[in-house]
Structure 1
Amino acid sequence: MKQLLNQVFNWKKRIHWLFLPLMSVILASSLFMAPALATGVYQIPALTPDTWVVDEADVISRVNEGKLSSAFEELAKQTGNEVRIVTVRRLDYGETPESFTKALFEKWFPTKEAQANQTLLMINTVTNGTAIITGERVKSAMSDEIAQSVANETVAVPLRDGDKYNQAFLDASDRLVAVLSGQPDPGAPQVVDTVQVESTFKKGEKTDTSNATAWVVGLLIAATIIPMATYYIYQINQPSSNG
């Protein structure tokens, strides 16, 4: 009986020492996983002459990214007005779409002269928060009211209809190019009211939380099973005490 109790005690002791390092890894991962996914202004690449779309959130197809870039490049050649779109998945803690866009605008265009004919539209895909900033010369062709309508209506409507990012940015491009080319404003998209009893898709935050929970549960299960299996293999490989 005493020998059995000693074996149980030794087994628990071994499990304890094997379990601690794994728990440390899990805790460290949970602390650093969320910040690692966040995007700050300093992580956005430097601007180049052919940079029109920066899709850090990876929500725009290559075909549509090419269409957007071509439309903005042609607009710049014809009018001198330049438009750029930036997508990020998650912003740094305390950052808002407005503060992020303002900081990036000033990073890319550090002087008033450089900012004058620029338009910068961004979206944070976790919350679908949008922001837009325009330079002083742009305002003569596109009022702040139209600019805000582009960000809050033209982009937002397709997103409310199932996170249609490609459609949202193509619609925004069409409207921006029209207005900045001196054509009449086509206006915001018409919103069709529909009765929806229950949502059939998850919001970004809920999806992120579910994924994180699944990872943690999986790691906890692994942290329990791996030490037990290791100890079991260790025990069966030991020579018999009666041998």
Structure 2
Amino acid sequence: MLVVFLLPQPAWAITLEQVPNPRRQYGGWVSDTANILSSSTENELNRLITQLEQRTSAEMAVVTVPNTQGYATPKDFTTQLFNYWGIGKAGQNNGVLFLISVGDRRVEIETGRGLVAILPDSRVQQIIDQQILPRFRNGDFDGGTLAGVRQLTSVLQGQPVANVPAAASGVTTSTIATSSGAVAQGIDSSLVEGILLLLGIIILGLGWQRSRMPVSLRAERGGRQVLSLTRRDPRTGAVLSSVQSDPIRLFLYSGSLCLGVFLGLSSGNWLGFALPVVAAMATDGTLGRKRGIPFQPVVCQACGRPMRPIQPQLLDKYLPQEHRLARSRGRARYYGWFCPTCQGIAVVVREGTLSRHLYCPRCQALTLDLTTQVLREATYSSSGLKLEILSCPICGYRSEREVVIPELSDTDTDSDFGGDSDFGGGSSGGGGAGGSW
């Protein structure tokens, strides 16, 4: 019998005082403590928020942290940080805090009391659900953060914001109704309905049967193997960057589309078309949390016997130090299976799109840290200088480089991150919204 003990994960708790205040540090609005945003994204975020502050006096801070351990919830940490910094102008309370907690896989957007009318909690939740979380689930922190800030600044500046269409296909109800009417003129509608119903049932049935078939984990063609567990353990196993997966989603959407058209034709009400499609999207959303990870039964590649899933909280037992560290910092997600027959282990890691920039060039561990130290502040008459330090806690790798900070300018919003030395002294009563990816 396999007995797995729960090992405590290392914790890197961060306090409010340890989060660098970007207004004091370099006169900007972004504090990327978790190192998930690129330099170009930080520059664009600073430009957008500076423009917002110049036009409306509203202030916005974008903060990323590894986790919010030590606080009741990520929301509690966000509210306390908002009031600790005093985001927004005093008396107006027109501040916004956009916080990303990588380890908690959580986004929180906190709003000041003075923004309730123009930016209600329901609007904030809509922006999180439609613009931010879908991109974060694909590992696109740059795209999700930029999309969220662009929507927030547009709303706060009173600019019209295009609503996200409910379906990306561009096919509207009226278009479908017109097309179906033309088809019905030339073909017996009952025959069409029967074919669609039968086809939908067959496709969904094939998909369900496919989902019950065992799969063997193997790397995709060109997929990079992160490490082999056989280096420290004679049991068969490997940590893979990606695996081949069966096209279950193709069966799901094709079958649901057929059933949707069938219901629309047979009932004469095209609301029936939406029911199977919505159900398929909900199912896909559930499966999408483990996109690329097989949810079918897994068999051992070595002996062909069924494998058992390893609970995520128990997976550290099978991971080397560098992978435990990468997992605890939210750099990647790990899924594991154990073979009770031959003691084989298979672990699959799903990395974010930005993770490739966080690999140590020496030991190849996903543990590279970037810290920034301002050596000389930029002014309106001279440029500044900052020191960027890349370090790896696993092998001790360290690299330093000096980066010039452009001098401040009244006319160039790309480099003008504001002349204030701090936020304006606003406060929050806990308004806003949040979401998990």
Specify if TM > 0.5: yes
1:185/1:98 Cα in 2 relative to 1: closer, same or farther (>3 Å)? same
1:86/1:189 Cα in 2 relative to 1: closer, same or farther (>3 Å)? farther
> What are the Cα deviations for residues 201-237 of structure 1, in whole angstroms up to 9, with x where unaligned?
6xxx95995598312999xxxxxxxxxxxxxxxxxxx
Comparing 149-158 and 81-90, the one that deviates more: 149-158
Aligned pairs for 1:1-243 (under 5 A) are 34-35=10-11, 37-48=12-23, 50-109=27-86, 113=90, 116-160=93-137, 162-187=138-163, 193=281, 199-200=291-292, 210=316, 213-215=319-321
Asked if the contact 2:87–2:96 (Cα under 8 Å) also holds between the matched residues in 1, the reply is: no
Give the Cα separation in 2 of the matches to 1:105 and 1:119.
8
What secondary structure does 2:319 align onto? helix
Deviation at 1:115, TM superposition (A): 6.8
Asked if the contact 2:88–2:112 (Cα under 8 Å) also holds between the matched residues in 1, the reply is: no
> What are the Cα deviations for residues 148-190 of structure 1, in whole angstroms up to 9, with x where unaligned?
2223442111112x21100101110110111011012334575
Give the Cα separation in 2 of the matches to 1:75 and 1:99.
26
Give the Cα separation in 1 of the matches to 2:80 and 2:74.
10
1:152/1:211 Cα in 2 relative to 1: closer, same or farther (>3 Å)? farther
Asked if the contact 1:153–1:189 (Cα under 8 Å) also holds between the matched residues in 2, the reply is: no
Asked if the contact 2:57–2:89 (Cα under 8 Å) also holds between the matched residues in 1, the reply is: no
Give the Cα separation in 2 of the matches to 1:188 and 1:206.
34
What secondary structure does 2:23 align onto? coil
What secondary structure does 2:135 align onto? helix
Give the Cα separation in 1 of the matches to 2:317 and 2:109.
31
Letter in structure 1 aligned against 2:40: V
Deviation at 1:94, TM superposition (A): 4.5
Asked if the contact 2:68–2:104 (Cα under 8 Å) also holds between the matched residues in 1, the reply is: no
Residue ranges of structure 2 left out of the alignment (5+ in a row)? 1-6, 169-280, 294-310, 325-437
Question: What percentage of residue pairs aligned between the two structures are identical?
Answer: 23
1:106/1:208 Cα in 2 relative to 1: closer, same or farther (>3 Å)? farther
Give the Cα separation in 2 of the matches to 1:107 and 1:217.
34
Give the Cα separation in 2 of the matches to 1:111 and 1:174.
18
> What are the Cα deviations for residues 50-95 of structure 1, in whole angstroms up to 9, with x where unaligned?
2311111111100111001101001110111111111111221443
Give the Cα separation in 2 of the matches to 1:168 and 1:191.
19
Asked if the contact 2:89–2:95 (Cα under 8 Å) also holds between the matched residues in 1, the reply is: no
Letter in structure 1 aligned against 2:151: R
Comparing 126-135 and 46-55, the one that deviates more: 46-55
Give the Cα separation in 1 of the matches to 2:108 and 2:51.
23
1:64/1:217 Cα in 2 relative to 1: closer, same or farther (>3 Å)? closer
Asked if the contact 2:135–2:144 (Cα under 8 Å) also holds between the matched residues in 1, the reply is: yes
1:109/1:217 Cα in 2 relative to 1: closer, same or farther (>3 Å)? closer
Deviation at 1:109, TM superposition (A): 0.7
Give the Cα separation in 1 of the matches to 2:165 and 2:16.
31
Which structure has greater strand proportion? 2
Give the Cα separation in 2 of the matches to 1:62 and 1:211.
36
Larger radius of gyration: 1
Asked if the contact 1:128–1:159 (Cα under 8 Å) also holds between the matched residues in 2, the reply is: no
Asked if the contact 2:88–2:95 (Cα under 8 Å) also holds between the matched residues in 1, the reply is: no
Give the Cα separation in 1 of the matches to 2:135 and 2:166.
11
Letter in structure 2 aligned against 1:73: T
Asked if the contact 1:157–1:191 (Cα under 8 Å) also holds between the matched residues in 2, the reply is: no
Asked if the contact 1:157–1:189 (Cα under 8 Å) also holds between the matched residues in 2, the reply is: no
TM-score (norm 2): 0.37
Comparing 104-113 and 123-132, the one that deviates more: 104-113
> What are the Cα deviations for residues 3-40 of structure 1, in whole angstroms up to 9, with x where unaligned?
xxxxxxxxxxxxxxxxxxxxxxxxxxx87x722x2222
What secondary structure does 1:122 align onto? strand
Letter in structure 1 aligned against 2:126: S
1:69/1:110 Cα in 2 relative to 1: closer, same or farther (>3 Å)? closer
TM-score (norm 1): 0.63
Letter in structure 2 aligned against 1:64: T
Which structure has greater helix proportion? 1
Asked if the contact 2:131–2:147 (Cα under 8 Å) also holds between the matched residues in 1, the reply is: yes
Number of aligned residues: 184
RMSD: 3.6
Give the Cα separation in 2 of the matches to 1:117 and 1:211.
47
